[in-house]
C-alpha cells in the first residue's frame, strides 16, 4: 500500500529535509509551498528518490487554496496518510510597533493554516481508517525573548490546537501531535561558532534531520499510542537552568 504524506513549507529548510527523508523511507510526498522557484528545485531533488512525488503551489494563508491542495494531493496520489503542518514565518518587532496586518499575517500563516489543513485532511483520513497529523510548533511556545509576541502566540496556539484536534479526531483513528524544535540550523552548518554548539546540553546545534526523524517516528502507525503530545527537540535548551554567576 502507498504511504502518502503532505508537507507544507516543503520548498526549503526543515520541510525540504522532511520531504527527502520521507521519500527515502518509502513515502510519496506532496510538497506544498508558495515559493514556486524553490519548490520546483526541491521537487527535482525529491523526484530522484521517489518519482511519484508531486508539488502543489499553495499560499497557506488562503483557505480555498488549502482545500484545493488537499484535494489535489488525495486525487493525484490516491490517498492521504500523514500531514505535516510545517510552513511558518516569524517577525521580531516591538509589540508597540507590530501592525494589525502583520499580526494577522503571522496568525493566518502559522496557526489558521494548521487548523484548516488538519480539518481538510481529516475528511479523507477518516474514510480510509485513520492517519497522523504532525504540527510544527517551537520552544518559543514555552520560553521567550523580547519582541516575539505574534510568533510565540501562534506556536502556543499550535500546541493547544494539537491536543484539541487529537480529542476531536480520536474516533477516526487520527493521531495529532506537535514537535517543538529549538535552534535548527537550516543554513551552512560549518559557519556556526563553538559557543553556538557548546551552550546546548547536547553540545551541538540542531539539524533539519533531527526533526524529520521525529516526524517519521510519529507518522508510523505502530506509534499511535502517542497522541495530543508535544515533543521538544532542542538539545536540552529548555531544560537548562540559566543563572548568571
Ligand atoms: P524556512 O523559512 O526555512 O522554511 C519555511 C517554508 O515555508 C519556506 O519554504 C516558505 O516558502 C514556506 N512558507 C512560508 N509562508 C508560506 C505561505 N504563506 N504559504 C506557503 N508556504 C509558505 O523555515 P524553517 O526554519 O525550515 O522552519 C520550518 C518550521 O519550523 C516553521 O514553522 C518554523 O516556525 C518552525 N521552527 C523552526 C525552527 C528553526 O530553528 N529553524 C525553530 C522552531 C520552529
Q: How far apart are CA 216 and CA 49, in angstroms?
A: 16
Q: What is the pLDDT of residue 116?
A: 99
Residue nearest to atom 8 of ligand 1 (CA): 9
Can you list the positions of beta strands (E) in 44-130? Answer: 54-57, 82-85
Best CA proximity match to 98, nearest among 155, 149, 156, 138? 149
Question: At which residue does the C-alpha cell 508510523 appear?
Answer: 220
CA 91 / ligand 1 centre spacing (Å): 12
The pLDDT score that the predictor gives to residue 216 is 98
Ligand 1 centroid to Cα of residue 149, in Å, is 17
Q: Is any atom of ligand 1 closer than 6 Å to the C-beta of 19?
A: no
**Alpha carbon of 86 to those of 11, 60, 97, 231: distances in Å?**
11, 10, 27, 14
What's the gap in Å between 63 CA and the centre of ligand 1?
A: 18
Domains of the chain as residue ranges with CATH: 3-239 (3.40.50.720)
Which grid coordinates are listed for 123? 475528511
Position 34 scores a pLDDT of 98
Instruction: Concatenate the DSSP letters of all residues of 98-110 into one string.
Output: --HHHHHHHHIII
Residue nearest to atom 39 of ligand 1 (CA): 184
Residue 217 phi, psi (nearest 5): -65, -45
Asked if residues 72 and 56 have their Cβ atoms less than 8 Å apart, the reply is: yes
135 lines ligand 1 (CB under 6 A): no
- Residue 1 grid cell: 500500500
Handedness of CA 70, 73, 79, 82 (dihedral sign): negative
Check if 109 has its Cβ closer than 6 Å to any atom of ligand 1: yes
- 245 CA → ligand 1 middle, Å: 36
What is the number of the ligand 1 atom nearest to the C-alpha of 184? 40
Q: What residues act catalytically?
A: 151
Task: Go through 114-135 and write b for each residue having 16 or more CB atoms within 10 A of its CB, e for each that does not.
Answer: bbbbbbbbbebbeeeebbbbbb
Tell me if 111 CB under 6 Å of ligand 1.
Answer: no
Taking the CA of residue 11 as reference, the ligand 1 atom at the shortest distance is 9
**One pLDDT digit (tens) per residue for the chain, 245 residues:** 679 999 999 999 999 999 999 999 999 999 999 999 999 999 999 999 999 999 999 999 999 999 999 999 999 999 999 999 999 999 999 999 999 999 999 999 999 999 999 999 999 999 999 999 999 999 999 999 999 999 999 999 999 999 999 999 999 999 999 999 999 999 999 999 999 999 999 999 999 999 999 999 999 999 999 999 999 999 999 999 999 88
Amino acid at each position: 500500500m502507498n504511504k502518502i504524506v503532505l508537507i507544507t513549507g516543503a520548498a526549503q529548510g526543515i520541510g525540504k529535509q522532511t520531504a527527502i527523508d520521507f521519500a527515502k523511507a518509502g513515502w510519496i510526498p506532496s510538497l506544498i509551498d508558495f515559493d514556486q522557484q524553490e519548490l520546483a528545485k526541491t521537487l527535482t531533488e525529491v523526484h530522484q528518490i521517489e518519482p511519484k512525488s508531486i508539488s502543489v503551489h499553495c499560499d497557506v494563508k488562503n483557505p480555498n487554496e488549502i482545500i484545493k491542495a488537499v484535494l489535489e494531493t488525495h486525487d493525484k496520489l490516491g490517498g492521504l496518510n500523514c500531514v505535516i503542518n510545517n510552513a511558518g514565518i516569524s517577525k521580531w518587532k516591538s509589540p508597540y510597533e507590530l501592525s494589525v496586518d502583520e499580526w494577522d499575517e503571522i496568525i493566518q500563516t502559522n496557526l489558521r493554516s494548521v487548523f484548516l489543513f488538519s480539518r481538510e485532511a481529516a475528511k479523507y483520513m477518516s474514510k480510509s481508517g485513520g492517519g497522523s497529523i504532525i504540527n510544527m510548533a517551537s520552544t518559543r511556545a514555552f520560553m521567550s525573548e523580547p519582541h516575539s509576541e505574534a510568533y510565540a502566540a501562534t506556536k502556543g496556539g499550535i500546541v493547544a490546537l494539537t491536543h484539541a484536534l487529537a480529542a476531536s479526531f480520536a474516533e477516526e483513528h487520527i493521531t495529532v501531535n506537535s514537535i517543538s524544535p529549538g535552534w535548527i540550523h537550516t543554513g551552512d552548518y560549518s559557519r556556526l561558532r563553538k559557543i553556538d554548539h557548546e551552550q546546548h546540553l547536547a553540545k551541538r546545534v540542531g539539524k533539519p534531520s533531527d526533526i524529520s526523524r521525529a516526524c517519521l517516528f510519529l507518522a508510523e502507525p505502530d506509534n499511535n499510542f502517542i497522541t495530543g503530545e508535544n515533543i521538544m527537540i532542542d538539545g536540552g535548551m529548555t531544560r537548562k537552568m540559566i543563572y548568571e554567576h
